[in-house]
Structure 1
Amino acid sequence: MTKEEKYTLADWAMNHALENGAQQVSVSIANSKSSSVEVREQKIDKLEQAIQSNLSIRLFVDGKYSTHSTSRLKEEDLAHFIEEAIEATRFLAEDEFRTLPDPELYYKGGGPELNLLDKNFEAVQPQQKIDLAMEAEKEALGKDDRIISVSSSYYDSMHERVMVTSNGFKGDTANSVFGINTDVSVKGGNARPEANWNESSINYSDLKKSGTGKIALEKALKKIGQQKIKSGTMSMIVENRQVGRIFGPLINALNGSQIQQKNSFLMDKMGKKVVSEKLTLTDDPFIVGGRGSRLFDGEGLATKKRLVFDKGILKNYYIDTYYGKKLEVEPTSGSTTNLVFETGSNNLDGLVASVKKGILVTGFNGGNSNGSTGDFSYGIDGFLIENGKIVQPVSEMNITGNMLTLWSNIGEIGNDVKENSSWRTPSIVFEGVDFSGL
C-alpha cells in the first residue's frame, strides 16, 4: 500500500467513525518489514521474516474513550469493525479529560529532513544478511580454546506510518534500522563469563560490518576470574552502554502519569535543583539521523528542542494531552526523543585513570528502583579500579542507594557518547556509591 493509499483509507475510516457516532477520531495506518538470521557453529540456527500492516483507531464517543486495532484493511471489513468498536465504547465510563490535542499544538509541516529511512532498504539481499552473520561469528569462533559458545545475528526492520485526526492533523513517518549482534560465553573456573557486542545504523551503507565477534570475545575473556570483593563505599564508573539502566528511573520519574498519580520522586520539583550541576540534558528531536528524531509525537504534537535538566535544575516533564488536562498544564509530549548529555573531556580510559579506587560497571544483573522514593538496588559486574588502573574483574556485587543522591554525586561525565541510541549516554563517574560483596 502506497503512502497515498494509506491516507485515503485513513480518511475513509475516520469519516466512517464520525458518521456512526464518534465525536472525535484519530486513525493511524502502519506497515513494517523485518528480517533476522541467527547463526551458530556456522549454520543457520534461526531465520525469520515478517511483513505486517495494521490500522489503529482512537475513538472519543459521548465523553468516553477507547482504542482499537486490526490487520484487516478492506473497507467492508473495517466498516463493521469500526461500528462495533463505537458501540463497545458506549459501555465505558465517561472521562472528561480524554480529548484530541489542541489543533494549535499539532505539527503543521515544513520541518527539516531527518533522514531516518534507508531508501534502499529492499536492496539488501538475503545472502548478504546471512554472510554478515556468518562473518561476525567467524571473528570469535575457534579463536580461543576457552570458548564455550558463540552466536551471531543480523537483523533489519523498516516501519512506515500515516496518521490523521478529525480536528486537522495529517502526518507520516518512516524509519529503518540494520544491525549485527554477537554473543560469546567462555570457561572461567566455576563461572561462565558472557559478553555481547552490537553495531547498528539507520542506513545499511553506514553499518559497521565487522568487529562484533572480536569485541564480544575480548570482553568475555576479560571477565575470567570474576569474584566478589570486600564491601565498601567507593567511586563507580558506569560504561556508556549500561548507563540506561540507572538513567531510566530518572526519566520515568518525569512522566506525566507518574506525576499526576503521585508516584514520582521528582513530583513538585519543577524549577528546583534536584541533581548534580554537572548534569545538563537536552531533548533534541531534530538531530539528522538521530534514533529518536521526529517532527511530531504519537498524538501529532509538534516536537520542540527542550532542556530537561539545566546544571541540575529540572526544566521539563513529559506530559501528553490527557495528563496535561488532569494537571492543568500545557502538554509537552508524553515521550522522549534524543536525550543529549553535555559531556566532559575524558573518554572511558580517561575516566578510569582518574579514579583512585572504584568499580567500572559493565553489566547489571537484576534489581529494581522504587518510582515513588527513588530507592534502588541492583546487581552489577565489572572491574575493580585501583590507582587509575583496572586490576581484576568482579561480579555478584550489589549497589544500593537513592536515585536523587546518586545523580547528585556525579564526579565526571565522559565524552564517549553512545550515538546509536535515542538515549545518547556517555560513561559517567558517580562518587560515594555503596557496594556490597564479601
Structure 2
Amino acid sequence: MRFNVLSGRWLWLSLYLVSCLAYAGSSVSGVRVWSGPDNTRIVLDLSAAPEFSYFNLKKPDRLVLDLKNSQMKVELSKVDISGRLVKKVRASTPKEKDAYRLVIELNQPVTPVVFALKPTGNYGHRLVIDLPDKVGSAATEKKQQQISKTKTQQQLEGNRDIIIAIDAGHGGEDPGAIGRRKTYEKSVTLAIAKRVQRLIDKESGLKGVLIRQGDYFVNLNKRSQIARKSKADFLVSIHADGFTSSQPKGASVWVVSTRRAKSEVGRHLEDHEAESDLLGGVGELMSNTDNDAHLNFALIDMQMDYSMNTAYQVATQVLSQLGKVTTLHKKKPEHASLAVLKSPDIPSILVEAGFITNHKEENLLRSGNHQQKLAKAIVSGIKKYYQRKPLPGTLYAKTYGVKKHTVKKGESLSVLAARYKTSVAGLKKANKLSSNTLKIGQVLTIPNS
C-alpha cells in the first residue's frame, strides 16, 4: 500500500512538472508593432513553437488569434501602437480553457498573413502577424504613379529629374549590427538616408526617394521593386558594418559581383545579408536571385553591363568624397554578391558608413554632425558622376551636357572661356588645340564648368 502511495505521488509530481514545463514553454514574453506605409506587422516572442489559429470578425473589424496552451506575460496596454491600421491590442475569453485569445482591433478589413519563425540570431520562437494596409497601399501606388507620370512628362520636355532611390539597411525586427553602446545599425542607416534625401532634393535636377521611411522591415527583394516602381535611375543602399571583432574600421563602398566575395569582411557581409530576411521575418524563403532566369540573361546583356559599369564609377566617386570626411576601410570599390545590388536595370551601390562594432566609429556614427558629413559625401559623389555623364532628357543633361559653339567674328578663347564659365586651358584640351588661334565657323566643344 505504501509503495502504491509513493508511486502515485511521484507519478502525480512528474505529471505536474511536465505540465508546468509545457505551459511555461509557450508563454508570450514580448509584443511588438511595426507600422509601414502599406503593411503593419505584429510580432509575438514565445518561449516555444506556437500552436495557433485565427479568424476575422466584422462590425467592428477585428482579427482574433488563439494561442493554444499559452499565457501572456506582457501588459498589452503598454504596447506601443503606431500607424493608422491597428486601433488596439487586447485579451479576450478563449473557447478552450488552456488557450490565450488575442484580439487586434482594426480600422479597416484585412486579409492577414500569420506564420511562425524558428529561433534566429538573438531571437527565440516568434509568431508574425502581417496586416496589409489597403488604404496605405493605394496611397503608395498613387504616389509612385505620380512620380512615373511626372518623370515621363519631364522627359518629353527634356528636363526631368534624375531619381535616386535611398535604401536604409535593415529595419523593424532586423536591427542589423549592434554596437557596444547598443547602437542599432537600422537607426543609424535611416538617419543617414533621410539626410541624403534632403540634400538630394535641394539639388536642382535630382530627386530622392526613400525605400523605407521608418522603423519597419522591407525584405531584400522588395527593396529593388520599390526603387523600380519609383522609376529610380540609381540606388544607394546605406549600411554600417559589423564584424566579429572591434578592430576593423573605416567606410567602404560595395558593388555587385556574380561570385562569392573574396575578403573576410565581404563574406561576413554576404552572410549578414542572408540572415537579414530571417531576422526581419518572411513568410516564405526569398527567391534565389542567382537562379533567376531573367537575371542570368541580364548578366550577359548590355543593360547589366551598363548598370555594373555605372555603379563602379559612382562607387569610385563616392569613395573619393568619403575619404575627405572619414577613414576608409578600402580605397577602391569592393565586390560582393548582395541581393540589394542585383537589379539588372538600376545601377546600385552599397555604402558601409563605418564599423558600428568599432568603439570609436560607433560614437561617430551616433553623431548627427558626422552623419551629415557622410550624407554630403555620398551626395557629392553621385552628383559628380551625373554631372560628367548626365542622362539624356534630364535637366542635368541641359545643365552639364556637352555644348557646341560655332566661332563668330571677333570671338577668342578668352572671350568664350568667360562666357561659358570655363578656362582657356579647358577649351584647348576639350578641342585638342595646340594654339590660341580660332577660325570663323570653327565648331568648338564646350567642357563642363
Q: TM-score, normalised by structure 1?
A: 0.26
Greater strand percent: which structure? 1
Q: Larger Cα Rg: Structure 1 or Structure 2?
A: 2
Q: TM-score, normalised by structure 2?
A: 0.25
Greater helix percent: which structure? 2
